[in-house]
Chain A
């Protein structure tokens, strides 16, 4: 691989960000330019991504040194970059009308493209401090996006909660990095792996779990998530839920992978958190009436499935579970992205004042917005794991990998996860039911039309979801190297 390619992949979105912002400020009268510049920046990033992906499939991992900072492209980076770019592009397209006329539109696009760039960078980080820097940059760009509707008290509340909890988590990560540096004398992830196990390194691992756990929303650390995901502009909710959580997961895997030799129980830890996340996420989602909050809680349980798959892989050393976990990561990005965008489209149509969208408002929405209702239902049923949609395939893959270990405890964990998947239908189905009710609610009666730029991303995501459900092997080129990279991270072959 031409080693400057990863640099371009990260550099283009990051360089596009100030251009978008400044152009927007200078030409305040014509915010349309920001939208097109953002799309152009993402298109350029896509071209580089295609080149990186094609040379990756031939030559494998690539590394590039900038001064002392190493960037390494492996399967995991490629997967994260792919999901971030896909959702990012669709969200930009979607925001064309959704965000039109908001104050600070230029800031929105500048931050959105920064967010995409920093997530790609996070995937490529090869030393542990660099990993933190990308993580922090990603987090800071999301603070501003979560509190974007600053006239709304609820958005400010969400922003404050998110900022305080994330910043505290980030301090824990830093303390862990300091412990690792003091103990091993190096920051390189591969070199740390060679260090002999010791108590401070175990403590560092625990601090990493807490610190990154805030961003992944591991269960006792999840309290910011429903507020932040519920209050952000819908496109950003899709990004937060579809990729940002997962980027945190990748960061945690990289950090724990470096400490893989310290203890053998990381796999159990991941499985344990996964099971708790599933149960708590599902139970909390059951009682939600506010659609975006419900979707946010369901993210908790989906992180649980990913953790289960990844934990099984770490425990057994077999890549199958990880492949399932990463497939679910990708599917969750598509499905939850679609669900948030569809909910956002209905929010746009039914409430023009950013008021929350309640379950009762959706009643009969399919009569006036058949396409959006269909996309929303497909996303919800996919999230619930109904065949032949994508969500079923990835859950199935995780469950099969679990049963294949022939370990009684893991088989029980898999059974628990399967029951949870059924439980989750209890809150997805009422939404679908409401959409297709005969009697239309008052907001639906007086709702406005949904523009085509908002429908297009929905249709594309829906097609992707159904196709992946029927032909799950289509994305093996992404998930297989990611699983192999993850097994390598944890010291397997």
Chain B
């Protein structure tokens, strides 16, 4: 069981990072971030189980979910503003800054 969960964590991290690298739509980027944080939440549950403290692991996972929800809300709020100012959600169009 633990092995399956660990594979799940790695899989979610991989999908999330891959998504962050290739996706150009701001909302999809937020979704990729969500996948990554869900991997972290799952990792907490697994860690709790492995160390024999199931309650601790699950309460940590809940805290992580609360925090990442706030991040998602802020991210989507930014997406709304970006859509209003730039007329697009494509992050490639966002570059206004010189290097």
In the bound complex, do residue A164 and residue B20 qualify as a contact, i.e. CB atoms below 8 Å apart? yes
- With contacts A156-B82, A157-B97 taken as known, whether A143 is within 8 angstroms of B46 at the C-beta atoms is no
- With contacts A151-B85, A153-B96 taken as known, whether A143 is within 8 angstroms of B74 at the C-beta atoms is yes
- Give the distance in Å from the alpha carbon of A78 to the alpha carbon of B70 in the complex: 29
- With contacts A156-B78, A157-B97, A168-B36 taken as known, whether A185 is within 8 angstroms of B86 at the C-beta atoms is no
B64 lies within 8 A of chain A by Cβ: yes
**A175 touches which of B40, B63, B94 (Cβ 8 Å):** B40
B14 lies within 8 A of chain A by Cβ: no
- Give the distance in Å from the alpha carbon of A160 to the alpha carbon of B93 in the complex: 12
- Give the distance in Å from the alpha carbon of A159 to the alpha carbon of B43 in the complex: 28
In the bound complex, do residue A182 and residue B47 qualify as a contact, i.e. CB atoms below 8 Å apart? yes
Smallest beta-carbon distance B92→chain A, Å: 11
Minimal Cβ-Cβ distance residue in B for A180: B47
- With contacts A171-B39, A178-B44 taken as known, whether A163 is within 8 angstroms of B71 at the C-beta atoms is yes
A283 lies within 8 A of chain B by Cβ: no
A418 lies within 8 A of chain B by Cβ: no
Minimal Cβ-Cβ distance residue in A for B86: A153
**A168 touches which of B20, B82, B95, B98 (Cβ 8 Å):** B20
In the bound complex, do residue B29 and residue A164 qualify as a contact, i.e. CB atoms below 8 Å apart? yes
A79 lies within 8 A of chain B by Cβ: no
In the bound complex, do residue A178 and residue B47 qualify as a contact, i.e. CB atoms below 8 Å apart? yes
Chain B residue numbers with a CB within 8 Å of A151 are: 85
In the bound complex, do residue A133 and residue B86 qualify as a contact, i.e. CB atoms below 8 Å apart? no
**B47 touches which of A150, A171, A179 (Cβ 8 Å):** A179
Binary flags per residue of A104-138, CB closer than 8 Å to B gives 1, else 0: 00000000000000000000000001000100110
A147 lies within 8 A of chain B by Cβ: yes
**A171 touches which of B37, B53, B96 (Cβ 8 Å):** B37
Smallest beta-carbon distance B28→chain A, Å: 12
- With contacts A144-B74, A160-B91 taken as known, whether A182 is within 8 angstroms of B96 at the C-beta atoms is no
Binary flags per residue of B68-84, CB closer than 8 Å to A gives 1, else 0: 10110011001001100
In the bound complex, do residue A140 and residue B85 qualify as a contact, i.e. CB atoms below 8 Å apart? no
Smallest beta-carbon distance A145→chain B, Å: 11
- Give the distance in Å from the alpha carbon of A143 to the alpha carbon of B51 in the complex: 34
- Give the distance in Å from the alpha carbon of A171 to the alpha carbon of B43 in the complex: 10
Smallest beta-carbon distance B38→chain A, Å: 10
A181 lies within 8 A of chain B by Cβ: yes
**A167 touches which of B13, B37, B41 (Cβ 8 Å):** B37
Smallest beta-carbon distance A164→chain B, Å: 6
In the bound complex, do residue B33 and residue A168 qualify as a contact, i.e. CB atoms below 8 Å apart? yes
A227 lies within 8 A of chain B by Cβ: yes
Chain A residue numbers with a CB within 8 Å of B82 are: 156, 160
In the bound complex, do residue B74 and residue A163 qualify as a contact, i.e. CB atoms below 8 Å apart? yes
In the bound complex, do residue A147 and residue B47 qualify as a contact, i.e. CB atoms below 8 Å apart? no
Smallest beta-carbon distance B37→chain A, Å: 6
A154 lies within 8 A of chain B by Cβ: yes
A174 lies within 8 A of chain B by Cβ: yes
Binary flags per residue of A15-41, CB closer than 8 Å to B gives 1, else 0: 000000000000000000000000000
Smallest beta-carbon distance B30→chain A, Å: 9
- With contacts A163-B71, A179-B47 taken as known, whether A154 is within 8 angstroms of B40 at the C-beta atoms is no
In the bound complex, do residue B47 and residue A167 qualify as a contact, i.e. CB atoms below 8 Å apart? no
- With contacts A129-B63, A157-B95 taken as known, whether A178 is within 8 angstroms of B78 at the C-beta atoms is no
Smallest beta-carbon distance B29→chain A, Å: 6
Smallest beta-carbon distance A169→chain B, Å: 10
Chain B residue numbers with a CB within 8 Å of A179 are: 43, 47
B residues 20-60 touching A (CB-CB < 8 Å): 20, 26, 29, 33, 36-37, 39-41, 43-44, 46-48, 50-53, 56-57, 60
Smallest beta-carbon distance A261→chain B, Å: 19
In the bound complex, do residue A174 and residue B91 qualify as a contact, i.e. CB atoms below 8 Å apart? no
- Give the distance in Å from the alpha carbon of A151 to the alpha carbon of B58 in the complex: 41
- With contacts A174-B64, A181-B51, A182-B47 taken as known, whether A154 is within 8 angstroms of B96 at the C-beta atoms is yes
- Give the distance in Å from the alpha carbon of A181 to the alpha carbon of B61 in the complex: 13
**Further pairs besides A147-B78, A150-B85: 19, Cβ < 8 Å:** A133-B67, A140-B67, A144-B74, A151-B85, A156-B78, A160-B78, A160-B82, A167-B37, A167-B71, A174-B37, A174-B41, A175-B43, A178-B46, A182-B46, A182-B51, A185-B51, A185-B52, A226-B97, A227-B97
Query: Which 4 pairs across A and B sit closest by C-beta, in order of nearness?
Result: A174-B40, A178-B43, A185-B51, A182-B47
16 inter-chain pairs at a CB distance below 8 angstroms, sorted by A residue, are A147-B78, A156-B85, A157-B94, A157-B95, A158-B97, A160-B91, A163-B71, A164-B20, A168-B36, A175-B39, A175-B43, A177-B47, A177-B60, A178-B44, A181-B56, A181-B57
